[in-house]
């Protein structure tokens, strides 16, 4: 696999043979990428700092505040996450227990942190493969590290799409609670008829 | 949120409103700041042309600051990974011929070394070949994303400096190289040039360099991207200022270190 971010015409005109292209030309053109490699690299090497600092601050906050307890998957999370998936796909009616985060969220939100850490490591491995040759070795070499870095990026895109769709589906109340940290549940009138078992919502 | 001096404790309703207001206010301010910061960056002007050019001014500042930050981890003991000769590509990728448009006169070629004093040394290929030969099989890396294991032979830059009594020149922070026609030129920071794997190479795959790959002498500097590995060296200068650099004038990082 050749991950090739520079303008494709460049490589084709020089060699006359076509490489496997991960994206077709219309994709590059839609994003206005061709001939902007230097600009892309410059953006990358600035925004990487925000990525790394943001990640470190988030992880530290989660650890210090104790919020990690709500985020790390529990032993039964993997089984439960399956039930969440079935529920979300409208295959199964009853939703598994939802505390602050359900099992699928726990897995997803922990995975994204591990992915972020992975991007940091693979990123350093391809950014300074000589100075950080140990990291590059850890990633299985320069070429492997590039592929890993790229696959992780695709992973974020998928995460982002699913995440945003889920937030939209969950509705305004949920979004509000994401910002404020609490959700107002006006349960006064329901109190007498509320079944004791369900702790849905 | 009108009551600025509440005498009574807040009611639940008020607390909810208050916290919602603060949270959404913070959210709006941060979103606005992120959006504002991004559009500022996106619309920022190009840098003023110096040794570097073509990048947005803030991005160039970031590239230079990042170089300074990562320079702390630069160590000449950190070596590029080497490979057995069998792993080296038989057909070495040819990517660019900038600077090679005019065929050099290989017969009469001499490396022109300009000292700070103005004194010029002319060094022949035979003089260089008389020095100990160092071979290197390493993964050559291009900014465009490809990499290829290739096999080079030549004089270590540091051996060259020592042999021709250029140690005082190498005390300066930069060395600049250019092709004989001056169409391609690179500036290298001295620590990278003096890295033990930096070569003035005259062989590829155990044969003299071919024109496409920089006959008769080229730079092989594994601690930099391919753009710094100048083909067909015509002249060398030592300098306290950053020498001009072809790709740094096109918006690339001046240092492009690995």
Whether A117 and A142 share a structural domain = yes
* pLDDT at residue A190 greater than cutoff 60: no
Confidence of residue B228 (pLDDT cuts 50, 70, 90): very high
Give the percent of chain B with pLDDT over 90.
54
Q: How does A102-121 read in b/e, with b if 16+ C-beta sit within 10 Å?
A: bbbbbbbbbeebebbebbbb
- Residue A11 in this model has a pLDDT that exceeds 60: no
The residue-averaged pLDDT of A140-155 equals 88
Chain B contact set for A146 (CB, 8 A): 145
DSSP state of A171: -
- A131 and A95 in a common domain: yes
pLDDT of residue B72: 87
Same domain, yes or no: A13 and A47:
no
Q: Which residues lie across from B189 on neighbouring strands?
A: B174
CB B240 within 8 A of CB B189: no
Query: Which DSSP string do the residues of A52-101 spell out, in sequence order?
Result: HHHHHHHHHHHHHHSTHHHHS--TTHHHHHHHHHHHHTTSSSSPPP-SSS
pLDDT at position A47: 92
Residue of B nearest to A41 (CA): B252
Please count the residues of chain B. Answer: 258
Q: Which residue of A has its CA nearest to B145?
A: A4
Contact status of B37 with chain A (Cβ, < 8 Å): no
Give yes or no: residues A87 and A131 share one domain: yes
Q: Which of A14, A46, A130 sits opposite B59 (nearest CB)?
A: A46
Average pLDDT of every residue of chain A: 76
How far lies B159's CA from each of A61, B134, B166, B241, in Å?
Answer: 52, 10, 10, 24
Note the pLDDT tens digit of each residue in B8-21. 777 888 888 888 88
Same domain, residue pair A83 and A107: yes
| Same domain? A129 vs A147 | yes
Q: Which of B51, B136, B129 is nearest to B88 (CA)?
A: B136
Structural domain of A22: 1-35
Contact state of A179 with B24 under an 8 Å Cβ cutoff: yes
- Residue A173 placed within a domain: no
**How many CB atoms neighbour CB B57 within 10 A?**
13
Q: What DSSP letter does each residue of B127-180 carry, written as one string?
A: HHHTSPPEEEEEEEE-TTS-EEEEEEEEEEHHHHHHHTT-TTGGGSSEEEEE-T
Residue B220 pLDDT: 94
Asked if residue A70 is part of any domain, the answer here is yes
User: Residue B52: what pLDDT?
Assistant: 87
**Chain A interface includes B40 (CB < 8 A):** no
Query: Which residues in A lie closer than 8 A to residue B59 (C-beta atoms)?
Result: 39, 42-43, 46
Please state the CATH superfamily assignment of the domain spanning residues B57-250 in this structure: Oxidoreductase, molybdopterin-binding domain (3.90.420.10)
Domain presence at residue A122 = yes
**Same domain for A66 and A142?**
yes
pLDDT at A200 over 60: no
Whether residues A22 and A51 fall in one domain: no
Predicted confidence at residue A13, as pLDDT, reads 41
Query: Residue A9 pLDDT > 50, yes or no?
Result: no
Task: List the single residue in A with minimal CA-CA distance to B28.
Answer: A179
Q: For B229, left (φ over 0), alpha (ψ -120 to 50), or beta?
A: beta
Whether pLDDT at A6 is above 60 = no
Structure confidence by residue, pLDDT tens digits, B37-90:
999 998 888 988 888 888 889 999 999 999 999 888 888 888 999 999 999 888
Chain B residue numbers touching A14 (CB-CB < 8 A): 94-95
Q: In the predicted model, is pLDDT for residue A140 greater than 80?
A: yes
Binary contact (B58, A46; C-beta < 8 A): yes
pLDDT bracket for residue B118 (50, 70, 90): confident
Q: Is B226 on the interface with A (CB under 8 A)?
A: no
Which of chain B's residues have a Cβ under 8 Å away from the Cβ of A49?
A: 62, 66
Q: What pLDDT was estimated at residue B172?
A: 92
Together in a domain, A30 and A113 = no
pLDDT of residue A201: 43
Give burial (CB, 10 Å; 0-12/13-18/19+) of A144: middle
What is the three-class DSSP state of B115? Answer: coil
Q: What backbone phi and psi angles, to 5 degrees, belong to A101?
A: -125, 140
Chain A nearest CA to B116, separation (Å): 31
Hey, which of A25-34, B88-97, B138-147, B169-178 has the most confident mean pLDDT? B169-178
Three-state secondary structure of B80-111: CCECCHHHCCCCCCCCCCCCCCCCCCCCCCCE
pLDDT tier for residue A127 given thresholds of 50, 70 and 90? very high
- Residues 6 or more apart whose CB falls under 8 angstroms from that of A165 comprise none
- Does residue A139 lie within any of the structural domains? yes
| Residue B249 pLDDT > 80 | yes
The arithmetic mean of pLDDT across residues A28-38, rounded, is 74
The secondary structure of B25-72, three-state, reads HHHHHHHHHHHHHHHHHHCCCECCCCCCCCCEHHHHHHHHHHHHHHHC
Predicted confidence at residue B257, as pLDDT, reads 87
Provide the 3-class DSSP secondary structure of residue B209: coil
Give the chain A residue whose CA is nearest to the CA of B252.
A38
Which pLDDT does position B7 carry in this prediction? 66
Burial A3-20 (b: 16+ CB within 10 A, else e): bbbbbbebbeeeeeeeee
- A15 domain-assigned: yes
Q: Give the pair of three-digit tokens for residue A12.
A: 């084709």
A146 and A88 in one domain? Answer: yes
How many domains is chain A built from? Answer: 2
Verify that A1 and A56 share a domain, yes or no: no
More confident residue, B96 or B126: B126
Work out the average pLDDT over B83-106.
85
Contact between chains at A130 and B19 (C-beta distance less than 8 A) = no
Is it the case that residue B36 has pLDDT exceeding 90? Answer: yes
List chain A residues with CB under 8 Å of B145.
2-6, 146
Q: Which two tokens stand for residue A27?
A: 């994709």
**CA-nearest residue of chain A to B26?**
A179
Q: What count of Cα atoms within 13 Å lies in the side-chain half-sphere of residue B187?
A: 21
Q: Do B143 and A41 touch (CB under 8 A)?
A: yes
How far apart (Å, rounded) are the C-alpha atoms in residues B65 and B61? Answer: 6
**Mean pLDDT over each residue of chain B, to the nearest integer:** 89
Residues on chain A touching B58 (C-beta within 8 angstroms): 46
Q: Map out the domains of chain B as residue ranges.
A: 57-250
User: What does the pLDDT read at residue A10?
Assistant: 37
pLDDT digits (tens, 9 = 90+) for A42-79: 999 999 999 999 999 999 998 988 887 777 777 777 77
């Amino acid at each position: 696999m050749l991950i090739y971010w520079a303008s494709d015409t460049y490589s084709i005109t020089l060699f006359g043979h076509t490489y496997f292209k991960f994206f077709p030309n219309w994709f590059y053109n839609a994003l206005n990428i061709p001939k902007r490699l230097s600009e892309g690299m410059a953006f990358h090497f600035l925004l990487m700092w925000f990525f790394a600092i943001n990640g470190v601050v988030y992880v530290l906050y989660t650890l210090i505040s104790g919020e990690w307890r709500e985020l790390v998957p529990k032993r039964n999370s993997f089984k439960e996450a399956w039930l969440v998936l079935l529920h979300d796909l409208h295959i199964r009616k009853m939703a598994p227990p939802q505390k602050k985060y359900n099992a699928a969220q726990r897995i997803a939100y922990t995975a994204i942190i591990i992915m972020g850490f992975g991007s940091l490591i693979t990123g350093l491995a391809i950014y300074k493969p000589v100075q950080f040759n140990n990291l590059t070795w850890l990633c299985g070499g320069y070429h492997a590290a590039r592929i890993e870095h790229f696959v992780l990026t695709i992973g974020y895109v998928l995460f982002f799409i699913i995440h945003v769709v889920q937030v939209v589906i969950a509705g305004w109340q949920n979004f509000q609670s994401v910002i404020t940290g609490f959700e107002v549940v006006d349960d006064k009138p329901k109190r007498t008829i509320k079944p004791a078992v369900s702790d849905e919502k | 949120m009108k009551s600025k001096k509440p005498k009574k404790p807040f009611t639940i309703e008020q607390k909810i409103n208050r916290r919602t207001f603060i949270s959404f206010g913070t959210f709006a301010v941060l979103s606005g700041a992120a959006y504002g910061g991004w559009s500022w960056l996106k619309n920022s002007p190009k840098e003023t042309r110096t040794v570097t050019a073509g990048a947005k001014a803030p991005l160039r500042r970031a590239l230079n600051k990042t170089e300074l930050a990562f320079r702390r981890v630069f160590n000449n003991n950190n070596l590029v990974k080497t490979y057995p000769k069998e792993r080296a590509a038989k057909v070495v990728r040819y990517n660019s011929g900038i600077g090679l448009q005019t065929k050099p006169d290989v017969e009469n070629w001499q490396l022109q070394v300009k000292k700070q004093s103005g004194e010029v040394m002319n060094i022949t290929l035979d003089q260089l070949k008389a020095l100990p030969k160092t071979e290197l099989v390493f993964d050559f890396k291009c900014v465009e994303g490809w990499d290829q294991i290739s096999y080079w032979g030549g004089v270590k830059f540091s051996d060259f400096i020592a042999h021709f009594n250029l140690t005082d020149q190498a005390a300066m922070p930069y060395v600049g190289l250019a092709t004989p026609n001056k169409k391609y030129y690179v500036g290298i920071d001295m620590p990278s040039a003096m890295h033990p794997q930096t070569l003035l190479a005259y062989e590829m795959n155990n044969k003299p360099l071919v024109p496409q790959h920089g006959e008769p002498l080229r730079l092989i500097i594994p601690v930099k991207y391919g753009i710094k590995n100048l083909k067909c060296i015509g002249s060398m200068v030592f300098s306290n200022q950053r020498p001009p650099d072809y790709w740094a004038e096109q918006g690339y990082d001046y240092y492009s270190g690995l």
